[in-house]
Amino acid sequence: MENQPPAAPIPAAVKPASHKPVNWKQVGAFLALTFGLTWGLDLALYLTGGLQNPAAITALQLQMLLPAFSAMLLGMFFWADSPINIKTNRSRSRWFTWFFLALTLVYIAGVTAVFIQPALVQTVNSVMLLPSLIGLVLLIVLRATGGKKTFTSVGMGGGQPKLWFLFGLGVVLFMGLQSLLNWIFKLGTPVDLTPLFAQITATGIPQQALFALVAIQAILLGPFLGLIVTFGEEYGWRGYLQPALLGLGKVRGIALVGIIWGIWHWPVIWMGYNFPGHPYLGSLLMTLFCIGLAFFLGYAVLKARGLWISAFLHALVNQSLSFFVAMVYKPTDMAFSFGVGIAGLVLIALVVLLILRDPLWKETD
């Protein structure tokens, strides 16, 4: 067992606003590197066919890794006050940060390979599943052998399992409600699963059982399989940027995180992702959606005093939204529907207003 620091500092992901002012030089460096890498990748994708490029799926996954990659690169090698700086971090968590940097480089190599040789897309997509699973196993092993302080000492705590369940249940119910409201207001069409069921009929699996299996895979298993990838965004936005901006106050700091996070998505929105046919309205809607989601995920991090809960919830939002759209009810126009559209944003705003009633937002320590 390796020696742990004698007194673990307050995890960076949960430091209150009163602990330190905003270091705008570091924030600027993080944003410059994150946006430079991400928008450079998006430009390369746009110039080679956009979302029609076979490399698009892997490129979008790589994009999700870049905020954490940027924060880790700067924190490990350039910021002496960072809890993950290689000169001061002696906890076992350092093996995970090294792994994550390597994972990002593997993704870069995979995307580059598909850019050069599109026929490799299936092979690369299959291979990319392995390092994510290795990362999940590594995370569990390091936590089990090193104890709780392994990750809490560097701002990567897990948070209480009870809150994972309660927040997660809220996400699934909320996304289910959005799908129900789309059906009630006839903002799309029910998904016809007949072709899918026809393909599986020969196996003898009942249709209800098949639907349940898909739901379990998407909503229960999927978020854990995608945990390492969504951590890529969450360590950047909630692990580094949120605590870095809490010097502005919790509400203003998290609102600014949401705005920045939304703008970060703009190039893929312009290419037709999320809101096909609405590049400018879609950019606005994505920014508003990210502000609302930033308050929800930021609140979860502050409430649970852990970062990994936000990676789980982020993955669950993605998985449950995709499940209800693909398997239950498909909106005609994502921009004018419940979910991530205008109608959905009204409900998200109500959730944010409810969250802001918690006294936690007024606490200073």
**Structural domain boundaries, residue 346:** 16-359
**5 lies in a domain?**
no
**Out of 85-89, 217-221, 358-362, least confident range:** 217-221
Average pLDDT rounded to a whole number, residues 344-360: 97
Residue 18 pLDDT > 80 = no
Determine the pLDDT at residue 51: 96
Q: What is the pTM of this model?
A: 0.92
Determine the pLDDT at residue 363: 81
Determine the pLDDT at residue 202: 59
Q: How far apart are CA 28 and CA 308, in angstroms?
A: 25
Q: How far apart are CA 44 and CA 49, in angstroms?
A: 9
Number of domains making up the chain: 1
**345 lies in a domain?**
yes
**291 lies in a domain?**
yes
**Out of 129-143, 159-173, 192-206, 337-351, least confident range:** 192-206
pLDDT digits (tens, 9 = 90+) for 300-315: 999 999 999 999 999 9
**9 lies in a domain?**
no
**8 lies in a domain?**
no
**134 lies in a domain?**
yes
**Out of 3-7, 28-32, 144-148, 307-311, least confident range:** 3-7
**25 lies in a domain?**
yes
**226 lies in a domain?**
yes
Share of the chain above pLDDT 90, in %: 83
Q: How far apart are CA 122 and CA 226, in angstroms?
A: 18
The winner for highest mean pLDDT among 124-133, 143-152, 342-351 is: 342-351
Q: How far apart are CA 154 and CA 307, in angstroms?
A: 10
